């Protein structure tokens, strides 16, 4: 599972192993966790959203962990459209399950070590033209 942590103007991406994923199952959007679960000891993180293995976004006001096709007029999963337009879209509920591929967290309380030290940036490989 991929974890994306947003802090100030930066974001940090972490891949956590299958064994640690079980600690995140059952969380709902808006829940806070201790950062030591994902390798950010001393930090307090808040779950802000995510997406499943097929790319469908999690919606905070849809209960459960399954997919539902709902009528949207604004917000998560709704593309910019004309005023008054509504679209039926498939979105996932607000609960973390085994089928979630990515979770987005935001830092609530900062820890003693900077996130740059905990999650160093990877160098990008140059593409051949």
pLDDT digit string, tens, across residues 14-31? 999 888 899 999 999 999
Q: What is the pLDDT of residue 117?
A: 86
116 sits in which H/E element:
helix 115-118
Instruction: Kindly state whether residue 102 falls inside one of the protein's structural domains.
Output: yes
How many other CB atoms are there within 10 angstroms of residue 114's CB atom? 10
Which residue range(s) make up the domain with 20?
2-63+94-113
- The torsion angles phi and psi of 109, rounded to 5 degrees, stand at -130, 130
Q: What is the pLDDT of residue 39?
A: 86
In the three-class reduction of DSSP (H, G, I as helix; E, B as strand; rest coil), residue 19 is classed as helix
Instruction: Kindly state whether residue 33 falls inside one of the protein's structural domains.
Output: yes
- Residue 128 pLDDT level (bands cut at 50, 70, 90): low
pLDDT digit string, tens, across residues 28-70? 999 999 999 888 889 999 999 999 999 999 999 999 999 999 9
Instruction: Kindly state whether residue 74 falls inside one of the protein's structural domains.
Output: no
Q: How many structural domains are present in the chain?
A: 1
Instruction: Kindly state whether residue 80 falls inside one of the protein's structural domains.
Output: no
Q: What is the pLDDT of residue 25?
A: 94
Its pTM stands at 0.85
In sequence order, the 6+-apart residues with CB closer than 8 A to the CB of 81 are 87
Q: What is the pLDDT of residue 55?
A: 92
Instruction: Kindly state whether residue 71 falls inside one of the protein's structural domains.
Output: no
pLDDT digit string, tens, across residues 74-105? 888 888 878 889 999 999 999 999 999 999 99
Instruction: Kindly state whether residue 45 falls inside one of the protein's structural domains.
Output: yes
**pLDDT at residue 122 is higher than 80:** no
Instruction: Kindly state whether residue 119 falls inside one of the protein's structural domains.
Output: no
**pLDDT at residue 124 is higher than 90:** no
Q: What is the pLDDT of residue 129?
A: 62
Instruction: Kindly state whether residue 76 falls inside one of the protein's structural domains.
Output: no
């Amino acid at each position: 599972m991929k974890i994306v942590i947003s802090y100030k103007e930066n974001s940090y991406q972490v891949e956590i192993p299958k064994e640690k994923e079980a600690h995140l199952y059952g969380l709902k959007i808006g829940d806070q966790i201790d950062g030591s679960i994902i390798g950010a000891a001393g930090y307090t993180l808040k779950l802000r959203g995510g997406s499943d293995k097929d790319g469908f976004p999690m919606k905070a006001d849809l209960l459960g962990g399954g997919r539902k096709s709902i009528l949207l007029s604004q917000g998560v999963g709704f593309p910019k459209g004309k005023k008054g337009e509504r679209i039926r879209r498939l979105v996932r509920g607000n609960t973390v399950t085994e089928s979630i591929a990515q979770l987005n967290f935001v830092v609530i309380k900062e820890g003693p070590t900077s996130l740059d030290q905990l999650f160093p940036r990877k160098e990008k490989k140059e593409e051949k033209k």
